[in-house]
C-alpha cells in the first residue's frame, strides 16, 4: 500500500507526540496485565508499524489497550505467559477471519450520540486518572497509568482524588503546571502556533526533564525520584535484548482454555477497535471514512505477530488516536512513525527516556482529556434535542462509572429506545376532515410499517370517534408487517362495528389479501 508523504513534517511531529504518550501506556498496561514490561513495547511497535501500514485509517493508532487488562491478567495467572501468547495468536486469527468475512460493518450501527458520549467519558477518565500523576502521587498507580476503570473498591469518585492530594509532591506539581502552560501557549500564542515544526508536547517533555535535573542539582526536595519517572527496560547487550522476546508454547494451542480466552479477546478487542475507528473518523479534521473490514484484518495480523513475538494483544486506542489528531496528524504515516520511534528508543536512548517525569506526560494527557470533554460538546448535544442528548449523557455517566463496553452498551440501549419511540410515531400520517355527513379521518401509512409500529396504530384505531369514516392509505408503503395487517383486519371485522365506523382501504397490495376481510367496507 502506497504511503503519502504530502504531510511528512506534520505526520512526523504527530508521531513523536503519540510516541511520548504511548511509551508509558505500553509499559503501564503490560505491568498491570501481569506481563513483562517489554511485552507492552512489542505490542506498541507492531501496532504502530504493522497495523499502521495495513490499516485503512489515516488517524487511528493501535497498541496495548487498558480495556483488556482484566482478561489478560486472569489468563496469564491461570495459564502462564507462554500459553497465554497462544490466545493472542488465536484472537488475531479470528479477527483476520472477521475482516475477510466483511463483518466490520457493525460499526456503522453505533449512533453518533453514543460515540460522542464515549469520547467525552474517556476525556473525563483521562483527566481523573492523570491528576495523581500530575501531582506526583504515582506509586499506588504504578502500572495503571491509564485505565477505563475509574472507581476502586474502597474509594469513591472524588475520594481517590482527595486522597492523592495528601501525598502531593511540589516538584511534580511545578513540572505539570509548567508543561500545561507550555502546551496552552503553543495552542494560543500566535507566534508559537506558527512554530509547527516544534510540537508543544515535545517542548513540555523536554522542559520537564530539564526542570527535574535542575531540582536535583539545586533543591533535592523538589526532585522527582525514579518511581515517578518513565521506567523502560535497558538491555546491555544484543543477547540481553533478544532474550526479552518470548515465543508461545506450541502445546498451548491444544489447550481449550487458550481458545476460550482467544475468542474473548477477539470479541472485546474487535468491539473496542470498531468503536475507536468510528470515533477517530468523527474527529478527523479532513472527515475521511475508514474501512472497518480492513481495520479488523490489520488488527488480526498485528495480534498474530504480537503473539508470536511475545507481546500482549492490541486494539485501536482512543487515547493515542486523540493525541495523534490533536498533534496534527494527516495520514497513517504518523502512526507508523510512532512505532518506529518506539523501536529506535528502546534500542538507542532508553536511559534518556527514563528521565521523563510522569508529571509531564500526565500534563499532555490532561490537555487531551479537556479537548475530548469540552463544554462545547455538551452544548452541541443539548441543542440537538432530547433524542440525542439523553443517550449522550447516559453514555458519559455509564462509561465513567462502569467501563467502556458496559457504558457503550447502556448508551446503545437508551439510544435504541429513542429510535423505537420515534419509529412508532413515524408509522403513519394522521389528519381529519369534517363533512356534513360526519368526520373523515385519513391515515397514510409510511414506507415501511413494522411490528414496532403496531402499538401506535392500534392506539389510534381504538380512539377513533363513533360514526366516522377512516381511510387507511397504503399508496406509499413498500412493506407492512404481518402483525399490523392482522390487527387492521381484526379492526375491520370487529372493532369498527362497535362504533359504526366505515373503513376505506386504499392501494393495499393484492398479496395482503385485505379484500377477503373487508366484508361491507370499501377497499381500494
350 within some domain: yes
Whether residues 343 and 438 fall in one domain: no
Q: Which of 341, 375, 409 is the last residue of a domain?
A: 375
Judge whether residue 191 has pLDDT over 60: yes
Q: Which residue has the higher pLDDT, 148 or 38?
A: 38
Sequence-ordered list of residues with C-beta below 8 angstroms from that of 474, at least 6 positions apart, any chain:
445, 480, 505, 506, 507, 508, 509
Q: Which pLDDT band holds residue 154 (cuts at 50, 70, 90)?
A: very low
258 within some domain: yes
Q: Which pLDDT band holds residue 260 (cuts at 50, 70, 90)?
A: very high
DSSP sequence for 409-461: HHHHHHHHHHHHHHHHHTTEEEEEEEETTEEEEEEEE-SEE-GGGHHHHHHHH
Q: Which residue has the higher pLDDT, 1 or 396?
A: 396
Q: Which pLDDT band holds residue 426 (cuts at 50, 70, 90)?
A: low
CATH number of domain containing 464: 3.30.750.24
Q: What is the pLDDT of residue 253?
A: 94
Whether residues 363 and 474 fall in one domain: no
Whether residues 496 and 365 fall in one domain: no
Judge whether residue 519 has pLDDT over 50: no
For residues 73-83, b (16+ Cβ closer than 10 Å) or e, as one string? Answer: eebbeebebbb
Whether residues 339 and 448 fall in one domain: no
The string of pLDDT tens digits covering residues 215-241 is 999 999 899 888 788 777 787 788 888
How many independent structural domains does the chain possess? 2
Judge whether residue 279 has pLDDT over 90: no
Whether residues 129 and 189 fall in one domain: yes
Q: Which pLDDT band holds residue 174 (cuts at 50, 70, 90)?
A: very high
Whether residues 203 and 339 fall in one domain: yes
187 within some domain: yes
Q: What is the pLDDT of residue 150?
A: 35
* Residue-number span of the structural domain to which 354 is assigned: 8-142+156-375
Q: What is the pLDDT of residue 478?
A: 83
401 within some domain: no
The string of pLDDT tens digits covering residues 355-401 is 888 888 888 878 878 888 889 989 988 988 888 899 999 999 998 88
C-alpha torsion 78→83→84→89, nearest 10: -160
412 within some domain: no
The string of pLDDT tens digits covering residues 447-470 is 778 777 787 788 888 888 888 888
Q: Which of 375, 392, 417 is the last residue of a domain?
A: 375
Whether residues 76 and 213 fall in one domain: yes
Whether residues 370 and 437 fall in one domain: no
384 within some domain: no
Helix (H, G, I), strand (E, B) or coil at 362: helix
407 within some domain: no
The string of pLDDT tens digits covering residues 73-127 is 889 999 999 999 999 999 999 999 999 998 887 766 778 788 888 878 878 887 8
Whether residues 267 and 331 fall in one domain: yes
Q: Which pLDDT band holds residue 422 (cuts at 50, 70, 90)?
A: low
389 within some domain: no
Q: What is the pLDDT of residue 438?
A: 67
Judge whether residue 157 has pLDDT over 70: no
Whether residues 326 and 457 fall in one domain: no
Q: What is the pLDDT of residue 197?
A: 59
Q: Which residue has the higher pLDDT, 319 or 422?
A: 319
Mean predicted lDDT score pLDDT of the chain: 83
Q: What is the pLDDT of residue 520?
A: 45
The string of pLDDT tens digits covering residues 477-512 is 888 888 888 888 888 887 788 788 888 898 888 888
Whether residues 297 and 213 fall in one domain: yes
Q: Which pLDDT band holds residue 413 (cuts at 50, 70, 90)?
A: very high
* CB-CB neighbours of 126 under 10 Å: 24
Contacts of residues 253-256 at CB distance under 8 Å and 24 or more positions apart, as own/partner, are 253/86, 253/89, 253/90, 255/79, 255/83, 255/86
Q: What is the pLDDT of residue 432?
A: 66
Whether residues 370 and 430 fall in one domain: no
Amino acid at each position: 500500500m502506497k504511503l503519502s508523504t504530502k504531510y511528512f513534517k506534520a505526520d512526523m511531529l504527530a508521531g513523536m507526540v503519540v510516541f511520548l504518550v504511548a511509551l508509558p501506556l505500553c509499559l503501564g498496561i503490560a505491568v498491570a496485565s501481569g506481563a513483562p514490561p517489554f511485552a507492552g513495547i512489542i505490542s506498541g511497535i507492531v501496532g504502530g508499524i504493522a497495523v499502521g501500514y495495513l490499516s485503512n485509517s489515516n488517524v487511528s493508532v493501535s497498541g496495548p489497550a487498558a480495556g483488556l487488562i482484566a482478561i489478560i491478567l486472569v489468563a496469564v495467572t491461570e495459564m502462564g505467559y507462554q500459553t497465554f501468547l497462544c490466545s493472542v495468536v488465536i484472537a488475531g486469527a479470528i479477527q483476520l477471519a472477521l475482516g475477510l468475512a466483511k463483518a466490520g460493518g457493525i460499526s456503522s450501527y453505533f449512533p453518533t450520540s453514543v460515540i460522542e458520549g464515549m469520547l467525552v467519558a474517556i476525556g473525563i477518565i483521562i483527566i481523573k486518572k492523570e491528576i495523581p500523576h500530575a501531582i506526583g502521587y504515582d506509586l499506588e498507580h504504578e502500572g495503571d497509568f491509564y485505565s477505563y476503570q475509574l472507581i476502586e473498591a474502597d474509594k469513591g469518585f472524588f475520594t481517590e482524588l482527595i486522597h492523592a492530594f495528601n501525598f502531593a509532591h511540589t516538584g511534580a506539581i511545578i513540572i505539570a503546571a509548567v508543561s500545561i502552560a507550555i502546551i496552552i501557549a503553543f495552542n494560543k500564542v500566535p507566534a508559537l502556533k506558527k512554530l509547527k515544526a516544534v510540537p508543544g508536547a515535545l517542548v513540555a517533555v523536554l522542559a520537564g526533564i530539564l526542570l527535574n535535573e535542575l531540582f536535583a542539582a539545586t533543591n533535592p526536595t523538589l526532585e522527582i525520584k525514579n518511581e515517578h519517572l518513565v521506567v523502560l527496560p535497558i538491555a546491555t547487550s544484543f543477547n540481553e535484548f533478544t532474550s526479552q522476546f518470548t515465543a508461545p508454547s506450541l502445546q498451548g494451542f491444544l489447550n481449550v482454555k487458550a481458545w476460550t480466552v482467544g475468542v474473548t479477546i477477539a470479541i472485546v478487542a474487535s468491539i473496542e477497535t470498531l468503536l475507536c475507528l468510528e470515533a477517530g473518523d468523527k474527529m478527523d479534521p479532513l472527515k475521511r471514512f475508514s474501512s472497518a473490514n480492513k481495520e479488523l484484518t490489520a488488527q488480526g495480523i498485528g495480534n498474530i505477530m504480537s503473539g508470536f513475538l511475545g507481546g500482549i494483544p492490541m486494539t485501536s486506542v482512543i487515547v493515542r488516536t486523540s493525541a495523534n489528531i490533536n498533534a496534527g496528524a494527516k495520514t497513517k504515516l504518523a502512526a507508523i512513525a510512532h512505532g518506529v520511534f518506539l523501536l529506535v528508543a528502546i534500542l538507542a536512548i532508553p536511559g534518556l527516556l527514563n528521565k521523563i517525569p510522569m508529571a509531564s506526560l500526565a500534563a499532555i494527557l490532561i490537555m487531551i482529556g479537556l479537548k475530548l470533554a469540552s463544554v462545547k460538546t455538551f452544548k452541541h448535544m443539548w441543542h440537538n434535542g432530547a433524542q440525542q442528548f439523553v443517550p449522550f449523557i447516559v453514555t458519559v455517566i455509564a462509561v465513567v462509572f462502569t467501563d467502556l463496553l458496559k457504558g457503550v452498551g447502556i448508551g446503545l440501549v437508551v439510544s435504541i429506545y429513542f429510535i423505537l419511540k420515534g419509529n412508532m410515531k413515524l408509522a403513519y400520517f394522521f389528519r381529519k376532515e369534517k363533512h356534513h355527513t360526519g368526520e373523515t379521518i385519513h391515515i397514510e401509512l409510511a414506507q415501511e410499517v413494522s411490528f414496532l409500529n403496531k402499538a401506535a396504530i392500534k392506539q389510534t384505531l381504538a380512539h377513533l370517534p363513533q360514526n366516522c369514516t377512516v381511510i387507511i392509505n397504503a399508496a406509499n408503503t413498500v412493506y407492512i408487517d404481518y402483525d399490523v395487517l392482522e390487527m387492521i383486519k381484526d379492526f375491520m371485522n370487529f372493532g369498527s362495528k362497535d362504533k359504526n365506523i366505515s373503513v376505506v382501504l386504499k392501494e393495499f397490495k393484492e398479496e395482503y389479501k385485505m379484500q377477503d376481510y373487508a366484508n361491507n367496507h370499501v377497499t381500494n
